[in-house]
């Protein structure tokens, strides 16, 4: 990362006046090439403008109310809009198993990671050990979705800065991965794969080989995206030294995930508190030093490389076996047992009609989602529904910090900064 990041300051081919040719003007000042007595003063006035919600660079229903002095942002307020899904209360009114479709839509670009996060919380409460093959399958699908999430961010960030080709490349790679997930779990976007006690189904025949071929293609596309952006003067000028957050400020603001690591803090839950089979896998945690938009872009590029490495290791290590627990208090019995025995019929009927019964208690379970720490706080009274469910949405702390990150910067810096924090509307509302 340090090599690529240094390009902005040492490139002898940099366009005069760009970041690569010298230092960027300090935040809060507007420089004008050739300022002098021949130029008339440029008058400016205090303005309040709405950026969004119907703006191509605003995500979903989000609106930024920006106070400007010329092109400098003096203050900004965020309105996350009226997407309100009532996620937590909705989950408290359905059975434990029926919560999964709600989790799919938290971060709809990496939905299986949300499935897995909720399943781990319930299993922690029920003290349920899941089969080893199911652990590997959860890691494989989660890391595929991490790549999808990062491809979406990099593609959209580049597109909103004018690089449409990069977006098309990113979408091609993401679609290939979504095709594999559709073969595995039946849905491209709202993939619903994890179950309490394991996963919904095993890999279809030939899926592993096909997925490895797709990963090879994704590697080629990712490298091409890197070649298009890493030395691109426009992209570097818009991202380098914009939206900077120091390590201390990132910790103070509650950052997690790639945004925290881009600021220099090497915190990753997969290493700090390993779950599933992450403690058996060899992978690195990339860390930035500048904490700006360019570092956050580089962080996603490197994390895609590491996810690719993780998936290939899982395919090598996993062995045949069960994919869900054989405890029929938590998992549906196999169909031959349902059709052939009264015990199977009764277990199937009670699970479908009443849902599972989770022992009374409370837990907080957290996983490393694509954009940070995804946490579920779950309380059970021993019944068939969550008594209380709380969510720690990964994107919320970074979104809440956006006014701090952009204060004193140019209005144009707001676009890459908003892109690089990976705000997802479906998870930030509660």
Please determine, for residue 4, whether its predicted confidence score (pLDDT) is greater than 60: no
Q: How much is the mean pLDDT over the chain?
A: 88
On the question of pLDDT at 35 being above 90, the answer is no
Q: What does the pLDDT average to over 273-301?
A: 95
List C-alpha distances in Å: 151 to 21, 144, 148, 159, 241. 29, 11, 5, 12, 22
Residue-wise pLDDT for 162-174, tens only, equals 999 999 999 999 9
DSSP H helices, 35-163, are: 87-91, 100-104, 111-126, 132-160
pLDDT score for 335: 87
pLDDT of residue 83: 75
CB-side exposure of 222: number of CA atoms within 13 Å?
25
| pLDDT for the residue 6 | 36
| Cα torsion through 156, 160, 165, 166, rounded to 10 | -40
Tokens of 204: 């279809």
- Set out the domains of the chain in order of their start, with CATH numbers: 47-127+130-324+359-429 (1.10.645.10)
Looking at the chain, the whole-number percentage of residues with pLDDT higher than 90 is 69
Q: How many C-beta atoms lie closer than 10 Å to residue 319's C-beta?
A: 7
Tell me the average pLDDT across 410-420: 93
Band the pLDDT of 423: cuts 50, 70, 90.
confident
| Residue 285 pLDDT class (50, 70, 90 cuts) | very high
pLDDT higher than threshold 50 for residue 7: no
Rounded Cα gap, residues 101 and 105, in angstroms: 7
> Within its chain, how far is the Cα of 287 from the centroid?
17
Q: Rounded to whole angstroms, how far apart are CA atoms 185 and 192?
A: 6
Q: What is the pLDDT of residues 48-87, one digit of tens each?
A: 998 878 777 787 788 889 999 888 999 999 888 877 778 8
Question: What tens digit of pLDDT does each residue of 330-364 get?
Answer: 998 888 889 999 988 998 998 888 889 999 999 99
Q: Which of 291, 160, 249, 243 shows the shortest CA–CA distance to 409?
A: 243
Cβ neighbour number for residue 342 with a 10 Å cutoff: 7
> Does residue 5 surpass a pLDDT of 60?
no
84 vs 218, residue with greater confidence: 218
Rounded distance between C-alpha atoms, residue 269 and residue 366, angstroms: 8
**Which of 352, 350, 317, 347 lies closest to 334, judged by CA?**
347
Model confidence band, residue 108 (pLDDT cutoffs 50, 70, 90): confident
Beta-carbon contacts of residue 333 (< 8 Å; ≥ 6 apart): 343, 344, 347, 348
């Amino acid at each position: 990362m340090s090599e690529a990041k240094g390009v902005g300051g040492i490139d002898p081919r940099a366009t005069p006046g760009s970041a690569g040719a010298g230092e960027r003007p300090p935040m809060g000042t507007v420089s004008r090439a050739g300022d002098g007595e021949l130029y008339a003063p440029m008058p400016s006035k205090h303005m309040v403008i709405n950026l969004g919600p119907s703006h191509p660079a605003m995500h979903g229903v989000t609106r930024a109310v920006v106070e400007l002095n010329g092109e400098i942002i003096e203050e900004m307020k965020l309105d996350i809009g009226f997407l309100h899904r009532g996620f937590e209360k909705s989950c408290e009114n359905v059975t434990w198993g029926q919560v999964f479709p709600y989790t799919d839509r938290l971060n709809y670009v990496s939905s299986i990671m949300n499935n897995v996060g909720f399943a781990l919380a319930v299993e922690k409460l029920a003290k349920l050990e899941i089969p080893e093959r199911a652990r590997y399958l959860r890691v494989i699908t989660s890391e595929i979705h991490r790549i999808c999430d990062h491809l979406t961010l990099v593609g959209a960030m580049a597109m909103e800065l004018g690089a449409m080709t990069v977006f098309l490349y990113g979408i091609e790679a993401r679609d290939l991965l979504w095709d594999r997930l559709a073969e595995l779990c039946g849905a491209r976007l709202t993939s619903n794969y994890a179950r309490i006690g394991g996963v919904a189904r095993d890999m279809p025949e030939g899926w592993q080989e096909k997925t490895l071929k797709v990963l090879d293609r994704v590697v080629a596309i990712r490298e091409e995206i890197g070649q298009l952006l890493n030395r691109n003067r426009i992209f570097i000028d818009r991202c380098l030294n914009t939206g900077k957050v120091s390590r201390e400020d990132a910790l103070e603001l509650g950052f997690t995930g790639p945004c925290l690591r881009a600021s220099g803090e090497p915190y990753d839950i997969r290493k700090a508190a390993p779950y599933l089979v992450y403690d058996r896998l060899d992978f690195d945690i990339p860390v930035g030093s500048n904490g700006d938009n360019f570092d956050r872009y580089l962080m996603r590029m490197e994390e895609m490389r590491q996810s690719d490495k993780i998936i290939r290791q899982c395919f090598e290590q996993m062995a045949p076996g069960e994919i869900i627990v054989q405890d029929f208090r938590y998992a549906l019995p196999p169909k031959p047992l349902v059709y052939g025995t009264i015990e199977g019929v009764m277990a199937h009927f009670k699970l479908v009609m009443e849902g599972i019964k989770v022992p009374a208690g409370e837990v907080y379970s957290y996983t490393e989602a694509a954009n940070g720490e995804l946490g579920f706080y779950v309380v059970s009274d021993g019944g068939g529904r969550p008594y209380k469910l709380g969510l720690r949405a990964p994107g919320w702390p970074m979104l809440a910090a956006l006014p701090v990150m952009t204060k004193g910067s140019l209005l144009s810096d707001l676009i890459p900064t908003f892109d690089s924090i990976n705000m997802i509307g479906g998870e930030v509302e509660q």
